[in-house]
């Protein structure tokens, strides 16, 4: 393949370590003297020909991406249609790539982003454009198929476990005369990986969290309330962790609001306040609830060192795969040992990842449905190990980087993609 430029873009909800992947991609390409462009706000920026010249950034700025949360180039939620029904859109995409001599395209995201990368690889072949397309894994939900875990998950898992541990100490202190129940909501639409990570806060027995509500286990109101009541009577207080995607026995989301996002997914509201109010109305117990929301996925100050290492490794591997002419693949994390924890990176076809969803195995959920098993603990614990704190300034705040994001000159007519 003729050497050209590499285009990198970020997609979907960002994580505490997605920029570590971005920095690894740019540094690996620079070592090979391959210029790197970035799509501003993901594939939407590519279609608009709104590209960024990463060559305008210093080596120090790119290195600082390793410890900076958010998405340095902007992200998006935008789903490409089929090639057959949206041929003009794909033609525009290839036109932009051709105009800027892009021969390598790396798309950093989750399930829907893997689908986008696969469609672009297929469209490039159909339109006879030489292009290596590599999907780069990222998602706090940890629900990408095949890969052992997903960059971004280890850090949100660590944040969740630490937050549950610390908040529970607070509740225990006040339970005699104040709060009896604390409810914390975590992300996870269909897969309870983040909820399961909360279980690392305790070692069993009456350690918190006392109850975990998973999307994989139907929510039975009477059984749940009985468990809360029994826990408060025995322990004096109760910590509940609930996944945003917890469902009723009939399959409806507990917190469904009726709206839909850009990918067509049902928009979920706050399940924590609903659960907390149910406890108040039915049991008369005083409560507090929390919904970390963006806090859990942006908490770079508490990132897992293992997670950062994963994020860097998939970025380096993605560049190597692209420059070797591989297309339609994704670097996957393969676990080779639990104790000691060992892993490696291997390429897998995007056809095995796109639109597939990895649920929490039933063997990871306790028989009563309210906690995690030892098998889950063996899987989860290595992913939250180690610290990789960002450098701090004299003001006591982390020193995060903001890139200049210098725009590449447009050469094509303006274009606005359909939502």
Residue 6 φ/ψ, nearest 5 degrees: -105, 135
Whether 141 sits among the annotated catalytic residues: the reply is yes
- Is the preceding omega at residue 209 within 30 degrees of 0, hence cis? yes
Among 112, 141, 143, 388, the active-site one is: 141
Report which of 287, 248, 298, 210 is spatially closest to residue 16, judged by C-alpha positions. Answer: 298
Residues 180, 228: Cα–Cα separation, whole Å: 10
Residues 90, 103: Cα–Cα separation, whole Å: 16
Residues 148, 217: Cα–Cα separation, whole Å: 22
Helix ranges (DSSP H) in 75-139: 87-99, 111-126
3-state secondary structure string across 242-291: EECCCECCCCCECCEEEEECCCCCEEECCHHHHHHHHHHHHHCCCEEEEC
Residues 7, 183: Cα–Cα separation, whole Å: 43
Residue 34 φ/ψ, nearest 5 degrees: -105, 120
The DSSP symbol for 348 reads E
Helices (H) and strands (E) in the chain, counts: 12, 13
Residue pair 78/416 in contact (Cβ under 8 Å)? The answer is: no
Residues 193, 161: Cα–Cα separation, whole Å: 12
Residues 9, 357: Cα–Cα separation, whole Å: 22
Measured between its terminal Cα atoms, the distance across the chain in Å is 33
| C-alpha dist (Å) from residue 135 to 8, 224, 259, 394 | 10, 41, 29, 39
- The number of beta carbons lying within 10 Å of the beta carbon of residue 375 is 13
| C-alpha dist (Å) from residue 177 to 133, 171, 237, 289, 402 | 59, 11, 11, 17, 47
Residues 404, 52: Cα–Cα separation, whole Å: 9
Active site residues: 141
């Amino acid at each position: 393949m003729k050497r050209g430029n590499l285009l990198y873009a970020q997609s979907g909800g960002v994580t505490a370590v997605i920029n570590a992947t971005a920095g690894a991609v740019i540094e690996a390409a620079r070592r090979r003297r391959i210029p790197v462009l970035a799509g501003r706000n993901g594939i939407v920026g590519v279609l608009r020909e709104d590209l960024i010249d990463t060559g305008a950034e210093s080596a120090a700025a790119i290195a600082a991406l390793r410890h900076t949360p958010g998405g340095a180039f902007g992200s998006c939620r935008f789903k490409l249609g089929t090639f057959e029904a949206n041929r003009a859109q794909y033609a525009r995409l290839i036109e932009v790539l051709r105009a800027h001599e892009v021969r390598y395209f790396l798309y950093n995201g989750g399930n829907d982003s893997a689908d986008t990368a696969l469609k672009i690889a297929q469209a490039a072949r159909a339109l006879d454009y030489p292009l290596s397309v590599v999907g780069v894994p990222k998602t706090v939900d940890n629900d990408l198929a095949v890969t052992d875990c997903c960059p971004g998950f280890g850090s949100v898992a660590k944040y969740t476990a630490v937050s549950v541990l610390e908040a529970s100490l607070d509740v225990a202190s006040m339970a005699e005369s104040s709060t009896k129940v604390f409810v914390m909501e975590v992300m996870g639409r269909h897969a309870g990986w983040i909820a399961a990570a909360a279980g690392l806060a305790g070692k069993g027995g009456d350690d918190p969290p006392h109850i975990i509500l998973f999307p994989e286990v139907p929510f039975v109101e009477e059984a749940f309330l009985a468990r809360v009541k029994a826990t408060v009577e025995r322990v004096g207080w109760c910590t509940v962790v609930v996944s945003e995607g917890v469902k009723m026995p009939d399959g409806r989301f507990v917190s469904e609001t009726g709206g839909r996002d850009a990918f067509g997914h049902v928009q979920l509201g706050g399940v924590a306040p609903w659960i907390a109010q149910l406890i108040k109305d039915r049991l008369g117990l005083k409560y507090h609830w929390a919904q970390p929301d963006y806090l859990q996925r942006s908490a770079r100050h508490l990132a897992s060192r293992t997670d950062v290492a994963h994020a860097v490794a998939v970025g380096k591997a993605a560049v190597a795969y692209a420059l070797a002419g591989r297309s339609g693949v994704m670097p996957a994390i393969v676990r080779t040992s639990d104790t000691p924890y060992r892993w490696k990176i291997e390429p897998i076809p995007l056809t095995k990842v796109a639109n597939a969803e990895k649920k929490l195995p039933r063997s990871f959920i306790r028989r009563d449905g309210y906690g995690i098993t030892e098998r889950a603990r063996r899987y989860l614990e290595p992913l939250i190990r180690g610290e990789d704190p960002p450098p701090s300034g004299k003001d006591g705040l982390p020193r995060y980087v903001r890139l200049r994001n210098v725009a590449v000159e447009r050469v094509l007519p303006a274009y606005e993609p359909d939502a």
